[in-house]
Amino acid sequence: MPSLDIAAESRIEAAPMKKTSLLHRGSLALTALLLALAGIPFFYLFQRASGASGSEISALLFREKTLSIFFNTFSLIFLVSLGAVLIGAGFATLLYAVKITRSALFLLLATLPLAIPSYVFTYSWIAIFPWFRGIWAAALVLTFSTMPYIFLATYAALRRVDLVQIEVARSLGFNRLEVFTKIVLPQIRGAIGASLLLVILYVLSDFGAVSLLGVDTFTRTIQNLYKASFDRQSAAILGLILMFIAATIILIEERVHKKNIASNSSVRVQSSASLITKPMAKLASLSLIVIYSFLALALPAYVLTTRMIANFQEIDYPALASATFNTLLVSTFGAIIAIAFALPLSWTIIATRSRFALFTEKVVLITHALPGVVLGLSLVAFGSKISWLYQSVGLLSFAYALLFLAKAVGNTRASMEKIPPILKEVSLTLGVSPLSTFRKITLPLAAPGIWVGFLLVLLTAMKELPATLMLRPTGFETLAVEIWSASTLSQFNQAAPYAFTLIALAAIPTFILSRPDRIQQESNHVEKERWRE
């Protein structure tokens, strides 16, 4: 009898292992499909650029125009990175260090610019100041657009700072500046560095702001080469250069990130360390946030509202409704496709830790760094060979998914990694199939992170412009396209209703992603996990 029991147990254990192997193979097959699809832009760029001779490449790289593009692009990266870090980290520190009764309001004010596309910022400023042009103007606009990335990451990191170390430093006679530079800053620099990568990639891929402001960067030049002369070979070479720049920046950030050792807090997460207590210092700190909110929020709101009122009788409501519906439709499809790819990739990385899966993740991240112009070029070439796919809603949705898949993968993987492995092991031991375990245990527990990834893709897809211009079906107008079409003709009154609607739609996921109660819940979750450890 005991031998029979042992044999039975062996069969029970062998079955899950066999099914798990099948699940692994299925997830690996989907990951391989994703790698092939994500590799389309790289294959296209290399194929187009391979036809150029060495002399042609040299002439393109060392001409005065290309050198100017390099200078403008890296100048913008430096200026925007510096501005976003100073403002974003500064505001996060102020809200953390100053005790105020309505911190949620200031948190919302600092985050809402995330809902405003860079070309809407540009449109608002040009509508008031027609002379608003050039690289400094672009740096200001892109700083407004990217500051929330730094702010949110820094604020979340500050809430996890070890307050015991702060108290010890104070007892040793450290002043507030020394406490921040020697105790607080080392614990938050990793978060600042990771969010700075997002800022740099945003600057590299921006098209709307630099085009309206007349600044020649890689994205604008690639778009002009494609649109004006159909010089796709030169556009592909510049696209490859941009890809290598993005990949280099990602690898540098990855190496720097590995050197940063996270500090574990020895006390409960708190909302403030009360580093700033003097009334005048509080007033000055809050005044800076109010001034920023005026420039980044009140001014665009004023422009859009007044322009809408001035053009209220001439608003084409059917066209506005159609553009709104199209925007929501294609953005939602793109977010769904992104999550559909993010789930198997994240599961494969966690379950197998294979180099193949990790390499696919790196390709996805580099694809995220590519501007919509480059991805649009590659998918135009790919889709033109398939008549039913070319200029379809499906192809545009897939472009959104490919562009912003990294956002979905990052949140989905992080959420899955938090699930205790013992839960899945117990489920398999009880004879539940791996697929049922995934459906009944993994998905429900990882749902919050998956939902955040979905919202992030939805938010960014609604604002995407260059890929939409290239891939949209004929007559398929989105809010971004309508804003762009009117703004390029200086028809600011006609653009206002579309810009106002786009901001209103984008503000919904932005608020959900940044609301204070969600941040508090995340902090509490981190604290619970720490105490369990």
Same domain, 217 and 324: no
- The pair of structure tokens assigned to 244 is 């290598």
Same domain, 58 and 40: no
Same domain, 331 and 232: no
CATH assignment at residue 182: 1.10.3720.10
Among the listed residues 21, 13, 5, the one whose alpha carbon sits nearest the alpha carbon of residue 431? 13
**Residue 456: inside a domain:** yes
Same domain, 19 and 66: no
The C-alpha torsion from 394 through 342 and 189 to 99, rounded to 10°, is 80
Same domain, 451 and 328: yes
**Residue 483: inside a domain:** yes
Same domain, 449 and 332: yes
CB neighbour class for 282 (10 Å; exposed up to 12, middle 13-18, buried from 19): middle
The pLDDT of residue 330 is 95
Same domain, 105 and 223: yes
The pLDDT of residue 484 is 85
Domain tally, the chain:
2
Highest mean pLDDT among 95-109, 177-191, 221-235, 394-408: 394-408
- The pair of structure tokens assigned to 198 is 């997002």
Given a cut of 70, whether residue 266 has pLDDT beyond it is no
Same domain, 191 and 241: yes
Higher per-residue pLDDT: 98 or 319:
319
Structural domain of 464? 15-44+314-502
Pick the last residue of a domain from 193, 227, 261: 261
**Residue 524: inside a domain:** no
Task: Report the 3 state secondary structure along 416-444.
Answer: HHCCCHHHHHHHHHCCCCHHHHHHHHHHH
The residue count of the chain comes to 533
- b/e for 477-508, b at 16 or more Cβ within 10 A? bbbbbbbbebbeeeebbbbbbbbbbbbebbbe
Record the pTM: 0.78
The torsion region of residue 63 among left (phi > 0), alpha (psi -120 to 50) and beta comes to beta
Same domain, 199 and 136: yes
**Residue 423: inside a domain:** yes
pLDDT digits (tens, 9 = 90+) for 123-155: 888 888 888 889 999 999 999 988 888 888 888
The pLDDT of residue 130 is 85
Same domain, 352 and 253: no
